[in-house]
């Protein structure tokens, strides 16, 4: 829950500082008829060698010092603070003109060692430890006292509370470095009579009938009862009553009490040896009492109190069907749930298959003192079905090398592709489908004497006269998905090369997951094993089929193909002595990728040569390229003019795309006459921008020349 302690304290201290300056000004301009500070609201008497807390008002008597005998309305003593350079002046503290007492307001002070000094001479004043009266003079060290910072916070343990029934109580937790303080509680949201009712235990009423005072102990809680309080949102302020400005504010929502109901969400069957996660929905209550099984009928039972800690109306517990041999097989499934176990059965082996009763109550136990208490007046009943376990299959998946976090199932399902080949430094992911093992597996490992996961060479890559190279479960990162009866085992393909010693690891490998016959839940008299094979290949990446290509002076695309995992990110670079253009690309599901470039740049001339390569595999992927402006970025222009002269020309045009190269030869016949027609065919480039042909360029140049000649004439 979120409090406003820091904001309230900052505002209060700011207001207090302004008020203290104003009060100090008034004190300096005091009148002869002022009353003694000893009868003021000072919190304690100043004591030499003692300590005060920042925010306290400390009373002292300076009547027999020379500062008090000056017939001046500005009678003062000086406050000094110990520093690395010795005592330094802080401020003057005014004295009452009648009895020469004063009050030191510590709210604006920093923690440290202080002493009061006679302003008429160089001596510091000592004060009696019991009553704040002067006891002599001396040095700073002989007259000093401590002022210490204090911390305080208060907050409700829950966000909400009911206004009736068993959930009408809310605990307030206190934190203070003073250990124990008295706290005044106020609220603008309730009448004073209601405030007293809420904090009725161990409280005293403040003299102005606006607050109640409770004793706050560091680390302890104080109960508040909201029975009969109207539903709504309430703010409460807790102020340390001897320290001005030190307070904390928190709020709580009071809900209207209705019939408290708790019900089981959908309860799915669970294989024997796995973990059942069961959610209870709650209405008008934050607590429920759950009974799993019945000791009289099935010789198996767990009884526990379930708490909805975040107030969302749901609480989820985990029941480990493998750990029933320990008696500690029920726990909270998340941090938003609390579980307090009353009692549970301890079996000789994991709980047997079959149906087990589930019951939930909102009122408690029928007989709380019984060895196995039964839920009282259940609001819902159902059954948990425990099935036989199985060892089903293992399959090979691959994952990009760049995926190096495997915290949960989402890290796996979002990044893997099922494939029987793996290349380069990609990750090998073995997806194992097996049930009845997740209650036994702890953490991210499957190291267990009754289970094993191995990789071993198979086929032609096994060197002659040598044992097969192998890897075991210790080499894998394990990601469990027990709710779906699956776990993923992840290993880098580089580990295969390491295991293969002097060889490169390329070739066939066999993955095997085995549940040994001795596993307590293996009903067979033999091992249960599942296996799969895959091939480890050298990385193979190519661009444009390995062929050089020509690119228009505009948009161009270079395509490639690789056997690396889909999702792999590559950098494809176009490089020359003029430019260096990297393009980040992602490998598609079919292993293809493409990089787009635009060579329509001022620094790129027609005929500019360059190379294109994958930066991580430059030596094997580099191809040559040349900028060919005659390709016109996909635009072809043809002009026909009728004349008396016939001219035949032959034009060869070569166009190169990412996959195909086509060369065409075209003979054009042009005849001059008094009429002409021009036909222009334009195709769009990758960005939808048309190009400009040679003919258009020539016309533009002629027009410019004619314009220049006209201006010269």
Compute the distance between CA of residue 417 and CA of residue 429 in angstroms, rounded to an integer.
9
Per-residue pLDDT tens digits for 234-272: 999 999 988 887 899 999 999 888 888 999 998 999 999
The answer, yes or no, to whether residue 38 has pLDDT greater than 90, is: no
pLDDT of residue 63: 81
pLDDT of residue 703: 46
pLDDT of residue 461: 62
Q: Are the CB atoms for 657 and 623 separated by under 8 Å?
A: no
Q: How many CA atoms lie within 13 A of 546 on its CB side?
A: 5
Q: Which of 539-553, 584-598, 661-675 has the lowest mean pLDDT?
A: 661-675
pLDDT of residue 658: 37
Per-residue pLDDT tens digits for 452-465: 999 998 866 666 55
Per-residue pLDDT tens digits for 535-573: 999 999 999 999 999 999 999 999 999 999 999 999 999
Task: Please give the DSSP secondary-structure letter assigned to residue 245.
Answer: T
The answer, yes or no, to whether residue 67 has pLDDT greater than 90, is: no
Most confident of 162-166, 227-231, 278-282, 323-327: 278-282
pLDDT of residue 377: 93
Q: What is the radius of gyration, based on Cα positions, of the chain?
A: 43
Question: For the residues of 473-501, what is the DSSP string, one character each?
Answer: GGGSEEEEEGGGTEEEEEEETHHHHHHTT
Q: Give the residue-averaged pLDDT of 410-423.
A: 91
| Residue 137: pLDDT band with limits 50, 70, 90 | confident
Q: Which helix (H) or strand (E) holds 513?
A: strand 507-515
Q: Are the CB atoms for 599 and 625 separated by under 8 Å?
A: no
Residue 94 vs residues 62, 288, 453: alpha-carbon distances, Å = 11, 62, 83
Compute the distance between CA of residue 87 and CA of residue 80 in angstroms, rounded to an integer.
6
Q: Give the residue-averaged pLDDT of 425-444.
A: 90
Largest CA distance in the chain: 133
pLDDT of residue 255: 87
The answer, yes or no, to whether residue 33 has pLDDT greater than 80, is: no
Residue 31 burial (CB < 10 Å; 0-12/13-18/19+)?
A: exposed
The answer, yes or no, to whether residue 489 has pLDDT greater than 50, is: yes
Query: Which strands make up the sheet holding 314-320, listed edge to edge?
Result: 261-264, 275-283, 314-320, 330-332
pLDDT of residue 447: 67
List helix spans (H) across 37-147. 140-143
Q: Give the residue-averaged pLDDT of 653-659.
A: 36
Q: Which of 213-217, 478-482, 533-537, 677-681 has the lowest mean pLDDT?
A: 677-681
Q: Give the residue-averaged pLDDT of 615-631.
A: 93
| Residue 710: pLDDT band with limits 50, 70, 90 | very low
| Percent of the chain whose pLDDT exceeds 70 | 77
| Residue 630: pLDDT band with limits 50, 70, 90 | confident
Q: Which of 14-23, 423-432, 667-676 has the lowest mean pLDDT?
A: 14-23
Q: Give the residue-averaged pLDDT of 591-605.
A: 93
Q: Are the CB atoms for 430 and 422 separated by under 8 Å?
A: no
Q: Give the residue-averaged pLDDT of 219-228.
A: 90
Q: Are the CB atoms for 405 and 427 separated by under 8 Å?
A: no
pLDDT of residue 468: 73
The answer, yes or no, to whether residue 448 has pLDDT greater than 50, is: yes
The answer, yes or no, to whether residue 157 has pLDDT greater than 50, is: yes
Q: Which of 94-108, 242-256, 480-494, 696-710 has the lowest mean pLDDT?
A: 696-710
Q: Which of 527-531, 543-547, 644-648 has the lowest mean pLDDT?
A: 644-648
Name the residue with higher pLDDT: 444 or 406: 406
Per-residue pLDDT tens digits for 279-338: 999 998 889 999 999 999 999 999 999 999 988 999 999 999 999 999 899 999 999 999
pLDDT of residue 256: 85
The answer, yes or no, to whether residue 53 has pLDDT greater than 90, is: yes
| Percent of the chain whose pLDDT exceeds 90 | 53
Q: Are the CB atoms for 476 and 488 separated by under 8 Å?
A: no
Q: How many CA atoms lie within 13 A of 647 on its CB side?
A: 12
Name the residue with higher pLDDT: 244 or 419: 419
Which of 236, 206, 192, 247 has its CA nearest to residue 41? 206
Q: Which of 5-19, 406-420, 423-437 has the lowest mean pLDDT?
A: 5-19
| Residue 115: pLDDT band with limits 50, 70, 90 | very high
Q: Which of 206-210, 520-524, 681-685 has the lowest mean pLDDT?
A: 681-685
Q: Are the CB atoms for 163 and 217 separated by under 8 Å?
A: no
The answer, yes or no, to whether residue 623 has pLDDT greater than 70, is: yes
Compute the distance between CA of residue 184 and CA of residue 206 in angstroms, rounded to an integer.
8
| Residue 659: pLDDT band with limits 50, 70, 90 | very low
Question: Which stretches does DSSP call E strand in 345-481?
Answer: 354-361, 380-387, 391-399, 417-418, 421-423, 427-434, 451-458, 470-472, 477-481
The answer, yes or no, to whether residue 353 has pLDDT greater than 50, is: yes
Which of 219, 236, 223 has its CA nearest to residue 180? 219
The answer, yes or no, to whether residue 88 has pLDDT greater than 70, is: yes
| Residue 589: pLDDT band with limits 50, 70, 90 | very high
Tokens 């009408």 locate to 168
Tokens standing for 476?
């894998």
Q: Give the residue-averaged pLDDT of 383-390.
A: 96
């Amino acid at each position: 829950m979120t409090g406003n302690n820091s904001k309230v304290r900052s505002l209060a201290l700011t207001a207090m500082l302004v008020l203290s300056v104003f009060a100090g000004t008034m004190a300096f301009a005091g009148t002869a008829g002022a009353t003694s500070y000893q009868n003021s609201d000072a919190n304690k008497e100043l004591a030499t060698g003692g300590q005060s807390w920042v925010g306290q008002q400390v009373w002292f008597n300076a009547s027999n010092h020379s500062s008090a005998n000056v017939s001046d309305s500005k009678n003062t003593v000086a406050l000094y603070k110990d520093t690395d350079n010795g005592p330094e002046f802080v401020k003057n503290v005014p004295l009452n003109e009648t009895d020469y007492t004063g009050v030191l307001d510590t709210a604006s002070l920093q923690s440290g060692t202080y002493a009061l000094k006679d302003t008429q001479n160089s001596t510091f004043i000592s004060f009696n430890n019991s009553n704040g009266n002067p006891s002599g003079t001396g040095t700073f060290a002989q007259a000093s006292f401590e002022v210490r910072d204090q911390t305080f916070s208060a907050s409700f343990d829950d966000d909400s509370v009911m206004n009736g029934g068993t959930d009408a109580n809310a605990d307030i937790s206190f934190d203070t470095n003073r250990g124990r303080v008295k706290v005044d509680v106020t609220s603008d949201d309730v009448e004073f009579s209601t405030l007293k009712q809420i904090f009725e235990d161990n409280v005293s009423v403040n003299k102005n009938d606006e607050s109640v005072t409770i004793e706050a102990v560091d680390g302890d809680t104080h109960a508040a009862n909201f029975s009969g309080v109207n539903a709504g949102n309430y703010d409460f302020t807790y102020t340390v009553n001897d320290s001005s400005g030190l307070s904390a504010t928190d709020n709580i929502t009071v809900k209207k009490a209705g019939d408290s109901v708790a019900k089981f969400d959908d309860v799915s069957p669970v294989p024997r040896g796995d973990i059942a996660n069961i959610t209870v929905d709650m209405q008008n209550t934050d607590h429920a009492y759950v009974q799993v099984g019945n000791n009289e009928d099935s010789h198996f039972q767990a009884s526990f109190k379930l708490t909805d800690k975040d107030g969302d109306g749901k609480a989820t517990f985990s029941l480990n069907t493998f750990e029933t041999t320990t008696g500690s097989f029920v726990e909270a499934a998340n941090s938003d749930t609390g579980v307090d176990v009353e009692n549970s059965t301890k079996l000789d082996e994991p709980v047997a298959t079959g149906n087990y009763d589930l019951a939930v109550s909102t009122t408690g136990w029928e007989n709380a003192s019984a060895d196995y208490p039964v839920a009282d007046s259940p609001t819902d009943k159902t059954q948990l079905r425990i099935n036989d376990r199985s060892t089903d299959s293992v399959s090979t998946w691959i994952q990009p090398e760049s995926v190096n976090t495997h915290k949960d199932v989402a890290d796996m399902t979002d990044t893997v592709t099922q494939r029987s080949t793996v290349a380069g430094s990609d990750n090998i992911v073995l997806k194992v489908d097996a049930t009845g093992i997740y209650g036994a597996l702890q953490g991210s490992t499957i190291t267990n004497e009754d289970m094993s996961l191995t990789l071993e060479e198979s086929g032609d890559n096994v060197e002659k006269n040598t044992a097969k190279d192998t890897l075991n479960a210790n080499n894998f990162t394990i990601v469990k998905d027990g709710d779906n009866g699956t776990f993923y085992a992840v290993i880098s393909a580089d580990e295969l090369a390491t295991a293969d010693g002097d060889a490169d690891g390329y070739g066939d490998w066999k993955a095997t997951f085995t549940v040994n016959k001795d596993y307590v839940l293996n009903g067979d008299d033999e091992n249960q094993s599942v296996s799969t094979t895959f091939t480890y290949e050298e990385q193979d990446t190519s661009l444009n089929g390995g062929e050089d290509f020509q690119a228009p002076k505009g948009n161009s695309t270079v395509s490639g193909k690789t056997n690396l995992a889909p999702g792999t990110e590559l950098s494809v670079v176009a490089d020359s002595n003029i430019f260096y253009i990297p393009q980040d690309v992602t490998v598609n599901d079919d292993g293809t990728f493409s990089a787009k470039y635009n060579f329509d740049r001022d620094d790129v001339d027609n005929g500019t040569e360059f190379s294109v390569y994958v930066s991580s595999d430059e030596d094997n992927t580099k191809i040559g390229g040349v900028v060919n402006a005659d390709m016109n970025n996909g635009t072809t222009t043809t002009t026909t003019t009728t004349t008396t002269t016939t001219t035949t020309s032959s034009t060869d045009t070569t166009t190169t795309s990412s996959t195909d190269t086509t060369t065409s030869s075209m003979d054009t016949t042009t005849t001059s006459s008094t009429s002409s027609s021009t036909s222009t065919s334009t195709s769009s480039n990758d960005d939808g921008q048309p190009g400009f042909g040679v003919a258009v360029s020539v016309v533009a140049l002629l027009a410019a020349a004619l314009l220049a000649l006209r201006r010269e004439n």
